[in-house]
Structure formats: C-alpha cells, structure tokens
Amino acid sequence: MKKLTAILLAILFSLGLGYQGYAQTGTEILKKLDQVMFSAKDLSAKNKIIITSKSGKQEVRESTVIQKGQEMRLFRFTSPASQAGIAMLSLPNDVMYIYMPAFGKERRIASSVKTQKFAGTDFSYDDMQAQPFSDKYNAKLIETTDKHYVLELTPKAKSEYSKIIAKIHKTEYYPISTDFYNQKNEKIKETAYTFEKVGKYWSPTEIIMFDLKKGSKTQIQMIQPKYDQGLSDDEFTIRKLIN
C-alpha cells in the first residue's frame, strides 16, 4: 500500500513538473518573440495599407512611419490625395495628436476605446498598439512541431478576446500567424505575418488581418524599413507633426 502511494505521488509529481515545464517554456517563447519584435531602438519605413471589403472593393493608402521605442510613433499619409498630409502622432498614455492639412492645425485625441477600428482598417487601436505580448498575455505552449511552436495566449486584463492562438517560428521566434477568439470562443480575426531579415532584425514586411465576421481584410506592407537610425525624441513633437 505504501509502495502504491509512493508511485502515485511520483506520477503526480512528475505530471506537475511536466506542466510547470510547459508553462515556463510558453512564457519563455513569448518573451523571445517580444525580443524579436521590439528589440530595435527605432524604425523608419514606408507603409502601404490595402483594405479589401467583403465585396472585393480595394482601397489603397500609403504613408510614412517613424517609430521610437514602443510608444512613440508618427504616421503621415501620402496618398490618396484626399488624405495626403494627414498625420498622426502617438505618444505614451494613449495620447494622440492628429494633424489635418485642410484645417491647418492639430488636435489632441485621447481614446480609451481600444476596440475601435483604426482609420477604417481591420486593425483595432488595441491591435495597433506596440506593446509587448508578454505584458498583455499569459502563454501556454500547446503544440510543438518541427517548424513551429503553438502558444495559447490568454489576456491578463479584460479584453475583447478570450484567447489568441499564436504560431511562432521555432528557431527565429517571429510570429507566423495569430488567431483571435471572442468571448464565445469563436474565431473572429486571423493575422498572417511575413518576416524578412533586415540587417540584424527580423522585419515584418507584410501583415494581413482578416476580419472573419465582416469578411474584409487589411494588408499592411512595410517598404524599405530602416532600423536604429538614432531618431531623437524631437522627431515626435507637435512641431514635427505639423511640418
């Protein structure tokens, strides 16, 4: 009887260890992903945003973007003509300034509504936020194949998502795809990533977001990304926004 108890305890112990081992690995993988995604000090690039509606209608926008760290970003649209010159400056604490050339002035916009769509795209403000995954999600490794890891991410705080299933490259740790599930556990969005090595960084050349409920998709392509150019904080001011 004693022997049996000992065996049972041993099994339980090893199961527990095994579980802990997985959890650690999941968190570790996510931290490595964050390192790949957010290790550059700054970035400047051109963006092409292609929005395709359910009916197949396409709308193309182009912009330049500069970014420093995780919370400073300046977008400036270059086309179409009606939106050319509109610029958005994101600063820490959800503060954003928008500049409209037709009005010739800037306005501060603070939004705490994260589920709102960003400028008609399928990305929500939440999706656009350059915040490390490991800050927002707990990770659990649910599958390992010879090419990738599959993590189940559950939000730490209240979120529109109940979970995200992320497929991550096994050796380079960049994301391959993320599937977003709503509170009813239905898949509502899908993201596919294409990464390329630019200098010492893995750079996302294209991100495609599918809104499964609306049937629309948004592609964001990054052209000529340049990393670690030594951008100063002065680039992210209202004066620069208006310019």
Partner 1 sequence: MNKVSKFIIKYRILVILVIAAITVFMGIKMMDLKINSDIINSLPEDDPAAVLYKEIGEKYQGSAMGVVIIKSDSLYSNRTLSDINTITELIQNSDGIESVNSLTNVIDIYSDEYGIEVGHLVDTDLLPYSDEQLKALKKRVEEQEMYQGAIVSTDHKATIIIFTISADVNQEDVGNAIRKEINGLQLDQKILYGGLPMMMMELSDIIFNDMLWLIPTVFIALLIILFLSFRSLRGGILPLISVGIAITWTLGLMSILGYHITMIGGIIPVVLFAVGSAYAIHVINHVTENQQEDYHAGIVKSLGYLILPVFLSSLTTVFGFVSFIFGSYLTMIKDFGIFAAVGTFFSFLLALSFVPAVLSFAPPKKKKRKTENPLLNRYILQPISKLVVKYPKHILATWGIIVVIGIVGTFFINRSTNLASFFPEKSETRLAEVTLQDHFGGSAPVFVRFKGDVQDPEFLHKMKACALFMKKNPHISNITSVADLVEQMNDAMGEGMQIPDDRAKVEQLWFLLEGQEIMGQLVSDDLDEALIQTRFASISTTDTQEFIDDMEKYIAEHQSEDCQIELSGVPSVYVNMDKSLLKSQLGSLGIAIVLVLLLVTISLRSLPFGLMGITPILATVVTIFGFMGYTGIALDVATVSVASIVLGIGIDYSIHTMNAFNYYYKVTGDIAKATESSILIIGKSILINAISVGVGFSVLIFSHLIPMQYMGLLIALSMLFSSIGALTLLPVLINMRFKRRRLKGLV
Count, residues near partner 1 per rule CB under 8 A: 31
Question: Residues 134-163: x/- map of binding to partner 1 (CB under 8 A)?
Answer: -----------------------xx-----
Select the span of 23-31, 68-76, 179-187, 223-231 touching partner 1 (CB under 8 A): 179-187
Buried/exposed 59-69: b ≥16 CB within 10 Å, e otherwise: eebbbbbbbbb
Question: Residues 52-71: x/- map of binding to partner 1 (CB under 8 A)?
Answer: -x-x-x--------------
SS3 state at 11: helix
Q: How far, in Å, CA of 197 to CA of 208, rounded?
A: 18
**Structure tokens given for 69:** 């760290």
Position of tokens 């939004």? 111
Compute CA 29 distance to the chain's CA centroid, rounded to the nearest angstrom. Answer: 16
> Is the CB of 64 or the CB of 177 nearer to partner 1?
64
> Is the CB of 147 or the CB of 156 nearer to partner 1?
156
For partner 1, the binding residue among 65, 91, 98, 130 (CB under 8 A) is: 98
**Structure tokens given for 48:** 């092409």
Q: How far, in Å, CA of 150 to CA of 170, rounded?
A: 9
Q: What residue ranges bind partner 1 (CB under 8 A)? A: 53, 55, 57, 82-83, 86, 97-98, 100-103, 105, 107-113, 116-120, 125, 157-158, 182-184
